Structure 1
């Protein structure tokens, strides 16, 4: 009931006008429609003008009320000194009105500090000067405290102006009057208490103004960053909505019982419906209304239940007009946090032309199929990887927009950092995709140059140690080639050693140089360190990416406290890097897919990642004409071995890559 009466009271015309004026005198950053075009000094200037105007009018009416009260007491015969009082009060009123007038001029807007001091001096110094003239000075502690508190409350910016105001007012009384020989400081207990009190009032007011101004600046900058992030969010959301709406594939999500939860215009067009809404309203059982052969639907459900995803699942489908087409579907299972299957999502492509084309077009269609598979993988990955970050950004931005006025600065910064971290994750994902695109198009820069590998490896280790602290034991080991015991299995299951791999490469190189004749070299041995330093020609930037990616993967997939090693050895003019960890390991059946784009091992799905890191590493190793192998056992650990030639010139690399 009380709230109801208060609301009715606020709707009264005079009170509504007063509240409206007070709102206009409080130009907070929340009331600014576009912060991106306003700097903090500009906003503070507006704030100071509005608050000075309010303060001057309040002071004017305060002294007017005081004058009226004094006049009443004079009429009642209780205020005998009217003549002296008239001069003081008239001067105060004239000064305040003058400040109000000057504030409305362009000169006044450029000299707000002078108007602030003029206000402060007018309400305190005029009467002090009058007391000095009459040589009857008395400290007016109440007026001073009221003035300082009013300034700190109504004009809480530019704290140095408050300090100047306090210094001049108190300095005049205790300094000028003392110089003129007036008795200003009776040394009694009450006077000293009041002096101590005025000191603490000044200190508290100055600290309050300083803290409030810092808070306002932080709040202003936070809202500025939030608005910029929100604008970027809108732009990003519009971009990816455009991808969804204009995709050449039909994108969908459906329930387990055969209802479409959403679909894009392309999907509706494939099945012959006027719009996605029309399709979702009319299709209530995908198995019966879309699939020509109900057994295909059962096969689809079995595959996705078993594997978690389906790629290029082809079947005949009914269009809305009853005609039959061939479609290809990529889909994955959507599960809730408990792991329960709740929906299917993916993309559908009309492949009728490919199915019904003539035999002579098979080769071209096979190439198109491969390209479409890569695009479909990208869209499937993008829809999965970007949805959660975008949802996080949007939710955090909306929370800041609606509840920031209720939160402290720490909580606001937590949400803002969440937006920044999520945006950084999306940027890294896009950068990985761009790297792969550059490599595939042949536009990636490759610049081998002399490099001290040992110091380089130590620097890489130290850089990562700085980031992970003491959570892992990360060590660099320079070892002799004879200590290499790692064997790998080739595609036929036969074990091959590192030495065999290098010898095979040497045979191929020497046959090229000697027209197919190979002369076996003397027994393989390590190069001396001095010889190695002269031979090393490697792209430092690409090697940094190779080693950093493999080492960070070792950290990511290993428990805290485990040991991680970067080992370096030399053999027959080759550098051999081994990154060894004690992590979760990789299932043997999945190791052959590790270097495929977007592939994630099943035991690493719950750990964040895009499946692009090892693809990029493989591409960079290939640029060096090197080789990379993996040896892993689940629950024991993983060892990646990278073999790079030491003395390949850039021209030789370009020539060999082009010949491939």
Structure 2
């Protein structure tokens, strides 16, 4: 015996035993059939899965392991493949149904390959039982459906909660908006109430000032009228006419004083009620200024002079002449009233860049710094003029008249040295003219 050949036979035998062991212990089913579909070999996994004994399988057609409706098709397919070589399963693999001995069906994965041994054609099929896999897949599918159901349910719950939150949020927004509106109304009412209280306080202060002013300003001229009227009766003789005339002049002066006070009250009332309207007309400013200066001659103190300094004699304004006359008269009479004897009073007119302005400067008692901010307030009088007759209305009326005419008024003053009031007025829209 050739030892090399004996060794080769032994190795072949060993290899065959190894392959047989692998074949028998494989987890998956392994079935070998011939070209006619007859089972040649079946491992232990096949026996266990299909429920047949080994001798019940070997030599039988493999279609016994298939559902009845596949058995005829299998013979036809195998015959077609042998003749044409066209494969639909061999070398491809697909999911099929297996049939156990007891007739029950189960899902399986079938993979078939062709094997040729010594010129003979065999087909080895590997079968995987997918029962547990299908069950797992079914469970996964069930769990997915359950998860999807829960997701939908949770989504619906969240949508409902979200809808509730939106409703709550809308309600809160409405309540907040309503509260803000109420707070706004309350603030407005509070401001209106505060304004009303301040207005009432202001009116009370004005009333107190008015009563104080009226009791003082009316008392002096009325007392003068009363005393002069009584004294006139003491001079019945013709040769006593001079004494009578002196008292008559005092009565006239007091009446004029009362008339001026009443005129201020009437002017203020008309301004408050909006009953003063502008009546513009063309006139020469210097003519109006000289007219007012002439009316004030009798009011001048000893040595006082009024000086008109005009940069544009004959300048023609288009304004309300009566209102401007009142402004001039008030400012000039104040300059006379609050200046000492022998002091000059200047009225200057100026032209600059087609703008007309005038200023009135005196060298009188001036205005204390702490009083200047209140100078145009109704019934206000500076602390250094309490012994000089006045209503405290004149400058307030002057400023309102100037505002009506579209102008502006400013002043500068030093206590003990004098004051200067400056007024700027708009010109005629067609431009200034000289006549």
TM-score (norm 2): 0.49
Question: Which one has the bigger helix percentage?
Answer: 1
TM-score, length-scaled by structure 1 = 0.33
Higher-Rg member (1/2): 2
Structure with greater strand share of residues: 2
